[in-house]
């Protein structure tokens, strides 16, 4: 047992930090600190910088452009990226469909898609959820019927994040309606420019326009865009969903937000002195910090176990803890950040409005706080709600 | 003790609920929000016709003579409908200053205008760095002949953009955080030197930034003692807290009803999600939180016109802390149980959640009031 | 709507208070304040004082010795009694078996038992729970087989509070093993001196000796001790269990404990000043007080509704709130009282030991605090666990 | 980072677990508790034979050279067995003063006696009104020739009744709450003027009240700087907190295992109670709390021999707060899920619950450490 980072790991952390300092455009960093949504060009610009440095897809196999870093370095990279803060590479390509393609796809698919994911030349979105499916993902209804060299796809996907920017969507579709619900599903890659695809925004309660519905009407998809075998899509989906361990807890994001709370609570006054000097406020922040420090160690235990055993690709049920506590902490931080604002949490600035254009007493950092709190209610819902995570632990870990 | 409504009170509730059920659907509300005012002038007129604007004023002053219980009834119904109209700002806050601080002349002048719906009021108190402290007032009021000249900036003035006149706290003497030396002035928003910028708040209501640049007001604009107006403001705000608690009952109750209904129809894994015990118990936690909120609201309502400032303040601290805490339990669980659909602008539950969150922010959040109650020695210290 | 107590109610409260002040023996009150267990003679002495004043069984019908008070006065009486604090009349007789006897019993039973309950000439205990039954009370297994003029009872009861003092036990027994589980149960009154009854103490984790197992071996019970009809006992049990509304929340007990916390926290020091002046401690106490004030109003709403509608004897499912919040508050107060003691929570004094007989720095009030916290874990378990209460609300109130 | 045990560490754990599995059943423990010492002298001897008493001392001093990780392993196993022996008092606390504050002569004299199990130690610091503040010391130490004379009273000295010698904080100068002017003295419990009264604690362990009435100790009884011994005491207590955190892992883990097992066998309404989703989720909440407690214990263990007093103290505040909070979640749920049987003295879970409660009380409860951490500026203030 050795509970300290190695010298090599510490040096690597420094290398990563200075790369971010030297290379992330200031305007992008400022948006992230302010809690604003990034535009597509922001993501693209930054991803190309990372990729040019060879860090576009750190955790991929080296043959596909990965770095060869072990789990601990991957974790350090991500944590520093989140803490700086810098945008994370787009998960739908880099973390989701990319690994599915290099693991289950054919050679042509690998060549066509992987480099374009790493460089964000292709923007991917995810077509899993449907209006009726929710936590019961396998109940999906979107049909794909073989017609010569094509599948004809009809159905509706929802909660499709950033589909408005997407060039491609990876979809779970039902190719066999007679089979058991998990066994008739296939995994298709669909060009968003194909006729019959319509994207409609879903505005979220914070006023954000991140998510969409995607309607598919007689969409013709070439059979070469099937990944792996027909009716085996559920296996690939499970692989994909189990692949997110190093990111799910979002330690770096929460650390950055804790630092932000501390910074802004020094600017807001309560009872004639900075809020950060209020004992009760400090205790609330310290409570979060303790939880976060413990979760960081939990995350490192999972990462270290990965590193020792080699990545089996199989999810550790204990990683459900990372999801549960990670989301609780994110929600606690966004709530506390809103509390920092006091009455200034109330003004609402729609996302794409101009900045306040008259002198005002409302601090510029205040209006995003409540929307961020509202928006972060999603983190205990998506990716398997916290209730589902607890069911998983009860069954897989406790044997109940 | 009798917790049942009188016949008149039941009629008030029923007729208001009926009006709102007929006029305040989800799409209606969206439409109201999209108007320049951000609410419905037509509904406002109907509320006035029902007598709601006159409700809390004494009959002698041209009102209907309702008390805190009547205000509770109205606010709960408005909360249930997520009404956008400036009833709270005009009748509860503005009306509170009129009732509790107005001279006979001021009442004679203003109550009829409020009562018929033609005059809209607001209350401006927040300043940069005041946070939730009513005594933190940097805005100045300087004597100028018979009248006063006001200068300063006020933030997040609820419905300040549509108000005809605004009650403003301003410092007549002393330092920024002194309890003494604060006056209450009624400022005509058309007066020279008044500028406003209105905007939406997170919950779809409206507020404004207010700047006063050497605004001259007459002697008759002063409410109460210009050197010691803070007790009046505190009394008005205490009654406003009781009213917000009542509104929160409507908001929480609606979220709970939506959630329980959703649990009965939404299916996952082939069964209604209401069959999952964990979700059942969450729904029960919401129910318990609402019943406790109702109880503490009744207590606050009972204490709302107490003359004992300290005891009344303790009751309001307790109520605001409890509804803030309970509102969060109800709101966060409502979203969680709804799942993705609860996160969308096109579904009602999120709007209730946002209103509940903003009710907590108004006049001090749960933590603020818990701290104040603790500092005041707790709830059972004086008498058990 | 009128949210104030009437002048009559206020006067009544004063009358009750002064009666307690003038009549409760000081030694009994001191034991209650110190959180010590009372002995049998303490209960008997106090009950006879109350009963001589006509207040032995306030909520019973006047024909059986009741006072004729409405629900609000009954509530005020109980709250003041708990707050003073004075011992509550023994629930097993006064609140449980008494109402069953005067509602369902025959004339002979009423004459034999009711006056002796009111005067605590008979000490009753409750024979409902069994080792296997827990929350599933109707699964009880104790058998009663008719043999001439007697039932012969065999089985085991458990969690039998204060059975060591008892003259009589009221038991649910199975008289028909073929019927559905709720339908073969009868309600028997059994003399504890009958041969075949053995009482064995169960020591609880706090070291307390309140509860017992009761073994019944070929216990012969005269048939005249059957209450009501054979095989209808479940109905009487439900009546009994639903009868506790005015007491279940224990508002007065919690008020008294809050006052005690305030008193003792003024004696214990933290950081050089009395603990009660610590802001964080005061906030924790205030949090409890707010909850308690709300629960008091909830209780009054239930009482007022009772008063309006007349006591139907049917439990209001909303009264499950009283159980849930009442137990949470009791547990919060006992935990906070233990916290007051700081390191002095640690010393353990077995209940019947002599007092510390040497000078010591350990304050006399400290050693009972942790046992009271431990003991009060029971309040969310007994009488239908809080999980069961939530099931009831989900079904009966929310329709889930 | 590597969280796996080395081969030697695994052997240590396995052999200790095996010994305790063989000797420390529920009935055995009851028997030990009923002895005059309140614990087993026989087990104590076996622990010494295994080398546990020598474990944390440097090899040069006659020890085995184990570090915080080895102590963590031992304490978790002792926690799992609910062991009653004075290992914590003797080896962790007493041994801590020896290791961190002992001169070469003191170590040469005392380490071998501890290592072979013949010398038992304790640490007396609590005084009336000191609560959790190590700097609150009214007990006096006055120079007397080469030596010192000690007078005062100490409370709740863990295993103070069986200790041969007791480390005592005593004031050599300054006022009762000054940080300076505190010395650490090792007092022989057989010395004239020492009186003790032993008693059981809530968790079945032992403690004592200690009175020092003009007790004369030689110069060699002083550990560290007699005018500034507080930093030494803090360092020892910080390491002790890491050890208590490790013990709590054993305690919590055992409660969880008992609870999950019970959920599988206990039937209600015809099914195992483990089939109820609400209880499943409670068991998961316990599991999550334990994993978080394990993580923060690892952090505390990592920081236990840090030379940076402030950083080390922050880590211990965090750990003690987290295990206190988590321990309550685990303990209260364990009792609740067990129902009545969990409330009885004849079932193990209640004993674990009581030990967990007393771990929270020792050296400052969760709230105390949360407050101290907040006052120290939080956990991530210096470096993230």
- Flag whether residue C280 sits within 8 Å of chain A, measured between CB atoms: yes
Average pLDDT over residues A69-82: 92
Question: Which ranges of chain D does DSSP label H, i.e. alpha helix?
Answer: 7-23, 26-34, 41-49, 68-81, 87, 95-101, 104-115, 230-265, 277-303, 309-338, 348-361, 366-375
Closest chain D residue by Cα to residue B279? D278
Q: Which listed CATH number (3.30.230.70, 2.40.110.10, 1.20.1440.230, 3.30.1330.10) goes with D122-227?
A: 2.40.110.10
Optimal mutation site among D128, D176, D202, D370, interface C, most CBs of chain C within 10 A: D202
Partner chains of B (3+ C-beta pairs under 8 Å): A, C, D
Average pLDDT over residues B175-190: 97
Nearest CB partner across the interface for B292, out of C1, C294, C308: C294
* Domain locations in chain D as residue ranges: 7-118, 122-227, 231-375
Average pLDDT over residues B296-314: 96
Collect all residues of chain D within an 8 Å Cβ-Cβ radius of residue A9: 1
- Flag whether residue D318 sits within 8 Å of chain A, measured between CB atoms: yes
Average pLDDT over residues A372-394: 94
ipTM score of the complex?
Answer: 0.95
> What element of type H or E holds B198?
strand B194-200
Instruction: Flag if D284 and A290 touch (Cβ within 8 Å).
Output: no
Cα separations in angstroms, B193 against B152, B168, B190, B219, B345: 10, 14, 9, 17, 38
Token pair in block for residue B247:
């509104």
Predicted pLDDT at C311: 59
Optimal mutation site among C201, C347, C367, interface D, most CBs of chain D within 10 A: C347
pLDDT of C243 over the 80 cut: no
Size of interface B-D (CB pairs under 8 A): 8
Q: In this structure, what DSSP letter does residue C364 have?
A: T
pLDDT of B383 over the 50 cut: no
CATH 3.40.50.720 is held by the domain D7-118:
no
Predicted pLDDT at A247: 74
Q: Which of residues 174-233 of C touch B (CB under 8 A)?
A: none
Strand partners, B150: B141, B215
Predicted pLDDT at A313: 57
- Flag whether residue A388 sits within 8 Å of chain D, measured between CB atoms: no
Collect all residues of chain C within an 8 Å Cβ-Cβ radius of residue D204: 348
State what percent of residues in chain A have pLDDT above 70. Answer: 95
By CB neighbour count within 10 A (0-12 exposed, 13-18 middle, 19+ buried), where does C111 fall? exposed
| D contact set with B (CB within 8 A) | 276-278, 281
pLDDT of B257 over the 90 cut: yes
Chain A closest-CA separation from residue C385 CA (Å): 21
Q: Which listed CATH number (3.30.465.10, 3.40.640.10, 1.20.140.10, 3.30.1310.10) goes with D231-375?
A: 1.20.140.10
Average pLDDT over residues B355-364: 98
Partner chains of C (3+ C-beta pairs under 8 Å): A, B, D
Collect all residues of chain D within an 8 Å Cβ-Cβ radius of residue C361: 127-128, 153, 155, 209
Closest chain B residue by Cα to residue D280? B278
Collect all residues of chain C within an 8 Å Cβ-Cβ radius of residue A280: 279-280, 283
Choosing from C244, C296, C328, C339, the catalytic residue is: C244
Predicted pLDDT at D383: 47
Closest chain C residue by Cα to residue B301? C3
Optimal mutation site among B134, B135, B202, interface A, most CBs of chain A within 10 A: B202
Predicted pLDDT at C313: 57
Better-predicted residue by pLDDT, D155 or C241: D155
Collect all residues of chain B within an 8 Å Cβ-Cβ radius of residue C289: 318, 373, 378-380
Q: What is the pLDDT of residues C156-178, one digit of tens each?
A: 999 999 999 999 999 999 999 99
Optimal mutation site among B268, B276, B277, interface D, most CBs of chain D within 10 A: B277
pLDDT of C357 over the 80 cut: no
Predicted pLDDT at D384: 43
Instruction: Categorize the per-residue pLDDT at A135 as very low, low, confident or very high, splitting at 50, 70 and 90.
Output: confident
Predicted pLDDT at B240: 98
Instruction: Flag if A279 and C283 touch (Cβ within 8 Å).
Output: no
Degrees to nearest 5, angle at CA B224 with B220 and B225:
105
- Flag whether residue C293 sits within 8 Å of chain B, measured between CB atoms: yes
Collect all residues of chain D within an 8 Å Cβ-Cβ radius of residue A305: 3
Strand partners, C212: C201
- Flag whether residue A269 sits within 8 Å of chain D, measured between CB atoms: no
Chain A closest-CA separation from residue D305 CA (Å): 12
Mean pLDDT of chain B: 96
pLDDT of A62 over the 80 cut: yes
User: What is the rounded distance in angstroms from the CA atom of residue D20 to the CA atom of residue D37?
Assistant: 19
- Is residue C133 within 8 A of residue D267, CB to CB? The reply is no
Average pLDDT over residues B33-44: 96
Q: What is the pLDDT of residues D210-240, one digit of tens each?
A: 999 999 999 999 999 999 999 999 999 999 9
Question: Which ranges of chain C does DSSP label H, i.e. alpha helix?
Answer: 7-23, 26-34, 40-52, 71-83, 91, 98-104, 107-118, 233-241, 251-265, 279-309, 320-340, 369-375, 386-392
Using alpha carbons, select from B232, B237, B90 the residue that is nearest to residue B161.
B90
Instruction: Flag if D350 and C205 touch (Cβ within 8 Å).
Output: yes
Chain D closest-CA separation from residue A153 CA (Å): 38
Question: Which ranges of chain B does DSSP label H, i.e. alpha helix?
Answer: 7-23, 26-34, 41-49, 68-81, 87, 95-101, 104-115, 230-265, 277-303, 309-338, 348-361, 366-375
- Flag whether residue A390 sits within 8 Å of chain D, measured between CB atoms: yes
Nearest CB partner across the interface for B209, out of A203, A362, A378: A362
Token pair in block for residue A272:
């004639």
Instruction: Flag if D9 and A294 touch (Cβ within 8 Å).
Output: no
pLDDT of B374 over the 70 cut: yes
Q: What is the pLDDT of residues B41-96, one digit of tens each?
A: 999 999 999 999 999 999 999 999 999 999 999 999 999 999 999 999 999 999 99
Checking DSSP bridges between strand C273-274 and strand A143-147, what pairing results, if any? unpaired
D67 sits in the region (left: phi over 0; alpha: psi -120 to 50; else beta) called: beta
Collect all residues of chain C within an 8 Å Cβ-Cβ radius of residue A279: 279-280
Partner chains of A (3+ C-beta pairs under 8 Å): B, C, D
Domains of chain C: 7-89 (no CATH), 124-231 (2.40.110.10), 242-396 (1.20.140.10)
User: What is the rounded distance in angstroms from the CA atom of residue A220 to the CA atom of residue A231?
Assistant: 18
- Flag whether residue A279 sits within 8 Å of chain C, measured between CB atoms: yes
- Flag whether residue D26 sits within 8 Å of chain C, measured between CB atoms: no
User: What is the rounded distance in angstroms from the CA atom of residue D248 to the CA atom of residue D255?
Assistant: 10
Q: In this structure, what DSSP letter does residue B5 have?
A: P
Chain A closest-CA separation from residue B24 CA (Å): 20
Average pLDDT over residues D118-122: 98
Optimal mutation site among B284, B294, B318, interface C, most CBs of chain C within 10 A: B284
Q: What is the pLDDT of residues A21-30, one digit of tens each?
A: 999 999 999 9
Better-predicted residue by pLDDT, D226 or C364: D226
Closest chain A residue by Cα to residue C281? A280
Predicted pLDDT at A359: 52
pLDDT of D125 over the 80 cut: yes
Q: Which of residues 296-325 of C touch B (CB under 8 A)?
A: 296-298, 300-301, 304-305, 308, 318, 321, 324-325
- Flag whether residue A328 sits within 8 Å of chain B, measured between CB atoms: no
pLDDT of B359 over the 70 cut: yes
Q: Among A235-244, C309-318, D23-32, where is mean pLDDT lowest?
A: C309-318
pLDDT of A166 over the 80 cut: yes
Instruction: Flag if B374 and C393 touch (Cβ within 8 Å).
Output: no
C244 is catalytic: yes
User: What is the rounded distance in angstroms from the CA atom of residue A124 to the CA atom of residue A47?
Assistant: 14
Average pLDDT over residues D122-133: 96
pLDDT of A316 over the 80 cut: no
Collect all residues of chain A within an 8 Å Cβ-Cβ radius of residue C283: 280
Predicted pLDDT at C349: 81
Better-predicted residue by pLDDT, A4 or D343: D343
Mean pLDDT of chain D: 96
Predicted pLDDT at B131: 97
Nearest CB partner across the interface for A286, out of D6, D69, D374: D374
- Flag whether residue D127 sits within 8 Å of chain C, measured between CB atoms: yes
Instruction: Flag if C279 and A283 touch (Cβ within 8 Å).
Output: no
Average pLDDT over residues A332-344: 98
Average pLDDT over residues C90-118: 96
Predicted pLDDT at C18: 97
Q: What is the pLDDT of residues D273-301, one digit of tens each?
A: 999 999 999 999 999 999 999 999 999 99
Collect all residues of chain A within an 8 Å Cβ-Cβ radius of residue B266: 134
Choosing from A244, A328, A339, A351, the catalytic residue is: A244
Predicted pLDDT at B381: 65
């Amino acid at each position: 047992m050795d509970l300290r980072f190695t010298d090599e790991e510490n040096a690597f952390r420094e290398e990563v930090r200075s790369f971010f300092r030297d290379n992330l455009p200031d305007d992008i960093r400022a948006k992230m600190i302010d809690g604003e949504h990034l535009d597509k060009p922001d993501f693209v610009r930054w991803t190309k910088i990372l990729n040019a440095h060879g860090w576009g897809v750190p955790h991929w196999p080296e043959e596909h452009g990965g770095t060869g870093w072990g789990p601990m370095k991957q974790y350090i990279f991500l944590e520093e990226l989140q803490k700086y803060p810098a945008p994370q590479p787009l998960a739908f390509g880099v973390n989701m469909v990319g690994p599915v393609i290099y693991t289950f796809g054919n050679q042509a698919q690998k060549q066509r898609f992987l480099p374009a994911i790493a460089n964000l030349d292709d923007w991917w979105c995810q077509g899993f959820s449907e209006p009726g499916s929710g936590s019961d993902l396998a109940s999906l209804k979107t049909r794909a019927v073989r017609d010569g060299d094509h599948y004809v796809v009809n159905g509706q996907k929802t909660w499709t994040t950033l589909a408005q920017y997407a060039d491609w969507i990876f979809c779970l579709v039902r190719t066999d309606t007679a089979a058991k619900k998990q066994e008739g599903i296939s995994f298709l890659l669909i060009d968003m420019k194909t006729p019959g695809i319509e994207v409609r925004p879903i505005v979220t309660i914070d006023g954000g326009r991140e998510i969409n519905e995607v309607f598919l009407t007689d969409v013709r998809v070439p059979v070469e865009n099937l990944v792996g075998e027909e009716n085996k899509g559920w296996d690939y989906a499970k692989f994909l969903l189990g692949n997110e361990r190093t990111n799910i807890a979002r330690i770096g994001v929460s650390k950055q937000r804790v630092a932000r709370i501390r910074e802004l609570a020094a600017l807001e006054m309560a009872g004639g002195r900075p809020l950060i000097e209020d004992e009760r406020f400090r205790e609330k922040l310290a409570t979060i910090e303790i939880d976060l420090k413990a979760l960081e160690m939990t995350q490192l235990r999972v990462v270290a176990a990965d590193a020792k055993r080699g990545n089996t690709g199989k999810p550790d049920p204990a990683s459900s803890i990372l999801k549960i506590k990670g989301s609780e902490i994110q929600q606690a931080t966004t709530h506390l950040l809103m509390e920092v604002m006091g009455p200034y949490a109330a003004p609402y600035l729609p996302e794409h409005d101009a900045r306040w254009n008259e002198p005002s007493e409302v601090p510029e950092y205040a209006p995003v706080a409540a929307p961020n709190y509202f928006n972060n209610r999603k983190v205990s819902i998506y990716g398997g709600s916290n209730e589902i995570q607890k069911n998983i632990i009860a069954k897989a870990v406790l044997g109940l | 003790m009798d917790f049942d409504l009188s016949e008149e009170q039941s009629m008030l509730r029923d007729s208001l609920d009926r009006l709102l059920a007929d006029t305040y659907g989800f799409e209606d509300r969206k439409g109201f929000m999209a108007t320049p005012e951000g609410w419905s002038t037509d509904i406002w007129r109907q509320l006035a016709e029902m007598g709601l604007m006159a409700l809390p004023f004494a009959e002698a002053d041209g009102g209907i003579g309702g008390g805190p219980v009547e205000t509770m009834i109205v606010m709960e119904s408005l909360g249930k409908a997520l009404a956008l109209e400036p009833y709270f700002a005009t009748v509860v806050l503005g009306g509170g200053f009129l009732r509790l601080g107005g001279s006979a002349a001021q009442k004679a002048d203003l109550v009829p205008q409020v009562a018929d719906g033609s005059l809209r009021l607001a209350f401006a108190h927040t300043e940069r760095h005041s946070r939730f402290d009513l005594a933190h007032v940097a805005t100045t009021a300087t004597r100028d002949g018979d009248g006063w000249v006001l200068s300063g900036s006020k933030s997040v003035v609820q419905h300040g953009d549509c108000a005809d006149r605004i009650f403003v706290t301003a410092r007549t003497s002393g330092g920024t955080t002194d309890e003494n030396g604060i006056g209450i002035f009624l400022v005509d928003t058309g007066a020279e030197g008044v500028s406003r910028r209105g905007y939406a708040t997170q919950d779809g209501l409206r507020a404004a930034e207010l700047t006063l640049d050497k605004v001259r007001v007459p002697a008759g604009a002063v409410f109460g003692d210009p050197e010691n107006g803070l007790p009046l403001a505190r009394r008005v705000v205490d009654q406003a807290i009781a009213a917000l608690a009542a509104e929160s009952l409507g908001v929480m109750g609606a979220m709970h009803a939506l959630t329980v209904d959703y649990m009965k129809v939404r299916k996952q894994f082939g069964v209604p999600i209401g069959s999952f015990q964990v979700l059942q118990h969450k729904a029960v936690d919401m129910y318990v939180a609402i019943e406790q909120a109702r109880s503490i609201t009744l207590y606050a309502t009972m204490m709302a016109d107490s003359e004992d400032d300290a005891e009344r303040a303790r009751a309001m601290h307790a109520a605001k802390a409890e509804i803030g805490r309970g509102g969060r339990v109800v709101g966060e669980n409502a979203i969680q149980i709804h799942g993705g659909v609860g996160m969308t602008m096109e579904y009602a539950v999120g709007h209730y959640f946002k209103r509940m969150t903003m009710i907590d922010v108004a006049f001090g959040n749960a933590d603020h009031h818990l701290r104040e109650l603790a500092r005041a020695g707790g709830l059972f210290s004086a008498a058990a």
